[in-house]
Amino acid sequence: MGLSRELVGLPMKYISTRGDATRRGFSEILLEGLAPDGGLYLPEAYPRIDAPTLARWREVQATQGYAALAFEILSLYIDDIPAEDLRALCARTYTAEVYGSDAIVPLKPLEPGLCLESLSNGPTLAFKDMAMQLLGHLFEYELGRRGETLNILGATSGDTGSAAEYAMRGKRGVRVFMLSPHGRMSPFQQAQMFSLQDENIHNLAVEGVFDDAQDIVKAVSNDLAFKRQYRIGTVNSINWARLLAQVVYYFAGYFLATKSNDEQVSFTVPSGNFGNVCAGHVARMMGLPVKHLVVATNENNVLEEFFRTGSYRVRGSAETFETSSPSMDISKASNFERFVYDLLGRDGARTKALFADALSREGVFTLSAEEFAQIGAYGFQSGRSTHADRLATIKATYEGQGVLIDTHTADGVKVARELREPGVPMIVLETALPAKFEATIAEALGPDVHAPRPAALADLESRPKRFQVMPADTARIQQYIRDHVPL
């Protein structure tokens, strides 16, 4: 596939998926988010892990823990932060105190050959904390070093928002403007965000779906004059640092599920914006022995359809269903562009033609037969799950294995059970905890089963809320930012 490089100590630089070949360092793209040509940043080439390195990393995880493994992986991609500082940032981020156990991402067996990787034991009970906590420390470090401030503009369908706000609370020099789809998140998710009273946190509930909010984030990021004047940064997975942090738990999960590096595993990833599974793609490109990356969607099945047909057909707001796995109610997977860029042999002009031209003109693009034939080499498979599947899976997993799972993880487990193969362990990423989606848990299991929640969140939904409803209008959001950012 020709997209990797050997570990020979070359400087690590980043380029855009849309053809801007300007080589930028990590710290620059950390604060920048989207590339100036509207593309997404990727490393010039993926570092390729040889067998001795993989063996050493297995040992590092077993003897020194997750933070040390994170440092090993991150240091291949970040060479403009001194190694000792980066090591300290990893150690400060990945602690048992924040993630509930020394293992940080323990595996939970479901049945022979099938397990969950627990990614949702951080402060906001979703996998977003795995990367967002690191991002909070990285932003604070880099802004402190430069003596600058940053105004983060984000979009959330339920979990990125609270993870970002919890990670950025009290961080020097950082303000957060978080757009969410008004009325479409669970009561717990809304309360997690809207109950925050911090001055530097602004919750803007947009009249629209997640994709409308994400479109606004991209439009603002593409207004380069505004972006520079108001120092706009991003925390969505369009920011490469988010993805990079997520690469680590694919390695960690692999080491926990296997005894030797000769074994292969597959991962099933409940998917929406394609950030999580794209991190798995990066891990696989680095040489992690992953057989399949299974993309599990809910009824909003744009991605499942793509991997089945080669056509990427985004849906408008009216066609985006409101489901019981609301964080995956996404019809334009912004991160998907990174994978397609790799699939097209890193042809920036073709990627731009598909994403900037065809998609905005017609709302759809279809790969050529030759391009579609390449997908198998990248290990992707896909499946879809519905509300009835979620209820049945939550019930079967609770009654059969005594494990209570959330609605998004249920989408993953349903698809994993369909696609797993004998002899290849299947790891399903647990992307949230059931406490966030109580109504559907009650629908699946009856009113007597309660999802446990941390004592500190017992009264969450009854706390006073601070948020503002706004139209899905880029100019109005920009005006709100002008009104709240001193120049």
Task: Check residue 159 for interaction with ligand LJ64HWYM (CB under 6 A).
Answer: yes
What are the two backbone dihedrals, phi and then psi, of residue 234, each rounded to the nearest 5 degrees?
Answer: -130, 150
Q: Which of 408, 414, 417, 420 binds ligand PLP (CB under 6 A)?
A: 408
The H-assigned helical ranges of 94-186 are 96-99, 128-146, 160-168
**10 Cβ partners below 8 Å, 6+ apart?**
none
Task: Check residue 270 for interaction with ligand LJ64HWYM (CB under 6 A).
Answer: no
Task: Check residue 158 for interaction with ligand PLP (CB under 6 A).
Answer: yes
Distance (Å, whole) CA 35 – CA 13 = 13
Q: Choose the one of ligand LJ64HWYM, ligand PLP, none that binds residue 432, judging by a C-beta under 5 to 8 angstroms depending on kind.
A: ligand PLP
By C-beta, is 61 or 121 nearer to ligand LJ64HWYM? 121
Q: Choose the one of ligand LJ64HWYM, ligand PLP, none that binds residue 270, judging by a C-beta under 5 to 8 angstroms depending on kind.
A: ligand PLP
- Residue 350 CA: distances (Å) to CA of 89, 273, 285, 331, 347: 38, 21, 21, 22, 5
Task: Check residue 275 for interaction with ligand LJ64HWYM (CB under 6 A).
Answer: yes
By DSSP bridging, strand 265-270 and strand 426-430 are: parallel
13, 108, 128, 465: which is the annotated catalytic residue? 128
Task: Check residue 272 for interaction with ligand LJ64HWYM (CB under 6 A).
Answer: yes
CB of 311 to ligand PLP, least distance (A): 19
- Whether 128 sits among the annotated catalytic residues: the reply is yes
Q: List the Cα angle 179/180/185 in 5-degree steps.
A: 165
Tell which residue, 415, 396, 378, has the closest CA to residue 297: 415
For helices 66-77 and 240-257, angle between their N-to-C axes, nearest 10 degrees: 130
Answer yes or no: are the C-beta atoms of 236 and 214 closer than 8 Å. Answer: yes
Q: Which residues of 305-333 are buried (b: 16+ CB within 10 A; e: fewer)?
A: ebbeebebbbbeeeebeebbbbbbbbbbb
By C-beta, is 125 or 445 nearer to ligand LJ64HWYM? 125
CB of 79 to ligand LJ64HWYM, least distance (A): 25
**405 Cβ partners below 8 Å, 6+ apart?**
116, 393, 394, 397, 398, 413, 430, 434
Answer yes or no: are the C-beta atoms of 294 and 382 closer than 8 Å. Answer: yes
Q: Choose the one of ligand LJ64HWYM, ligand PLP, none that binds residue 156, judging by a C-beta under 5 to 8 angstroms depending on kind.
A: ligand LJ64HWYM
User: For residues 425, 430, 434 and 440, what is the CA-based torsion angle, rounded to 10 degrees?
Assistant: -70
Task: Check residue 190 for interaction with ligand PLP (CB under 6 A).
Answer: no
Residues 273-292 that bind ligand PLP (CB under 6 A): 273-276
Residues 445-484 that bind ligand PLP (CB under 6 A): none
By C-beta, is 233 or 275 nearer to ligand PLP? 275
Q: Choose the one of ligand LJ64HWYM, ligand PLP, none that binds residue 417, judging by a C-beta under 5 to 8 angstroms depending on kind.
A: none
Distance (Å, whole) CA 60 – CA 66 = 8
Q: Choose the one of ligand PLP, ligand LJ64HWYM, none that binds residue 408, judging by a C-beta under 5 to 8 angstroms depending on kind.
A: ligand PLP
DSSP reduced 3-state for 465: coil
Task: Check residue 431 for interaction with ligand PLP (CB under 6 A).
Answer: yes
Q: Choose the one of ligand LJ64HWYM, ligand PLP, none that binds residue 271, judging by a C-beta under 5 to 8 angstroms depending on kind.
A: ligand PLP
By C-beta, is 174 or 432 nearer to ligand PLP? 432
What residues act catalytically?
128
Site of interaction with ligand LJ64HWYM (CB under 6 A): 156-161, 236-237, 272-273, 275, 327
Interacting residues with ligand PLP (CB under 6 A): 126, 158-159, 237, 270-276, 327-328, 408, 431-432
